[in-house]
Amino acid sequence: MRILGIETSCDETSAAVVQDGRRQLSCAVRTQIDIHRLYGGVVPEIASRAHVESIGQLTQMALDSAGLTLADIDGIAVTAWPGLIGALLVGVNFAKGLASATGLPLTPVHHLRSHVAANYLAHPELSPPFLALIVSGGHTSLVYVTGYTEFQTLGRTRDDAAGECFDKVARVLGLPYPGGVAMDALAQTGDPEAVSFPSAEVRGAPLDFSFSGLKTAAVNFLHNAQQKGQDFCKADFAVSLMDSVAQALTGRLEEAARQVQAPALVLAGGVSANSVLRRKAQETAQRLGIPLFLPPLSLCGDNAAMVAAQGYFELQAGNIAASSLNALATKEIDTSKL
């Protein structure tokens, strides 16, 4: 079964074709990073307009590079939630148009479910159940994946997402958007113990996170140094912050894995590209004696191949959109809360 995936939830426009949820036949991605960098972050209105300009062309590119036409496609999958509403609406309306013109079934895909599904493309042996740590620019959660379309949230951030924390601190540090990527590059040479940050723990909720205190401490450190004209090593600062965030994430990942006796661990989302987090997750898996699955760097960020992969499993589960399908800015990943 060949699925055409469409992704426009944030600042990447993408279309892809995936066979049976596992084999990527093509994936065309156009990032808007250069446009948004001028403003230091994503400007929603500009993102929507850029999606409108690109989505038709990228869909044709995805079909062409797979050597296929729409007649060879068996279903369409589109990111319908959560995300920037104007951006999501571009993809959802485009996909609805395609579905009604071709008569193909259309399935709505949850953005975080698709980040998890990026791992199915890279690891043929991976199948639920497993414990996923999903870390992106807008979300940070620990999710027990009991089936391809069965999800149970065990913990989540109470305030900022990990990616948001990196992006905001990086901006104050004077690094270009997206800050997480620039900070990771900077962090390759520093000393992780050089600067200490408050813990990201939430009292009484051992599987939840809170990154706002950490973010504020980091921003205060930078403002203090600036006001006093004090010099500091940016690499030390960056790697210390990443180490604290990764420590918080993997500490709870380990705790949750023990609680549910998870047979495997999975990382997902843009921040799963982070070198410190990947290393710490590996150590966690080794301590637990269970396998860890990491998305390849090419599939960590937003892309339509992961949407098509998850779309295959959603269609198999009978999740077909009505013609009234609308995009939603927020929606839980959990099966019980659909």
Q: Which of 95, 99, 56 is nearest to 78 (CA)?
A: 95
Residue 155 found at the interface with ligand KG4 (CB under 6 A): no
Chain-centroid distance, C-alpha 180: 13
Could you say which of Zn ion, ligand KG4, none residue 75 binds, taking C-beta under 5 to 8 angstroms by partner kind? none
Residue 209 found at the interface with ligand KG4 (CB under 6 A): no
17 to each of 70, 215, 232, 244, 260, how far by Cα in Å?
10, 39, 48, 38, 35
> Closest CB to ligand KG4 belongs to which residue?
270
**Interface residues for Zn ion in 100-139 (CB under 5 A)?**
136
- Residue in 166, 209, 211, 313 binding ligand KG4, rule: CB under 6 A: 166
d(CA 13, CA 9): 8
Cis peptide before 206 (omega within 30 of 0): no
Residue closer to ligand KG4 by CB (options 180, 190) is 180
**Interface residues for ligand KG4 in 289-308 (CB under 6 A)?**
301-302
Amino acid identity for residue 42 in this structure: V
Residue closer to ligand KG4 by CB (options 267, 288) is 267
Residue closer to ligand KG4 by CB (options 7, 63) is 7
Return the number of other C-beta atoms located less than 10 Å from residue 223's C-beta: 11
Residue 32 found at the interface with Zn ion (CB under 5 A): no
- Residue in 236, 243, 302, 314 binding Zn ion, rule: CB under 5 A: 302
Check: CB of residue 14 under 8 Å from CB of residue 32.
no
Least distance (Å) between residue 230 CB and Zn ion? 36
Q: Which residues of 143-168 are buried (b: 16+ CB within 10 A; e: fewer)?
A: bbbeebbebbbbbbbebbbbbbbbbb
Interacting residues toward ligand KG4 by CB under 6 A: 10, 136-138, 163, 166-167, 178-181, 184, 269-271, 273-274, 301-302
Interacting residues toward Zn ion by CB under 5 A: 136, 302
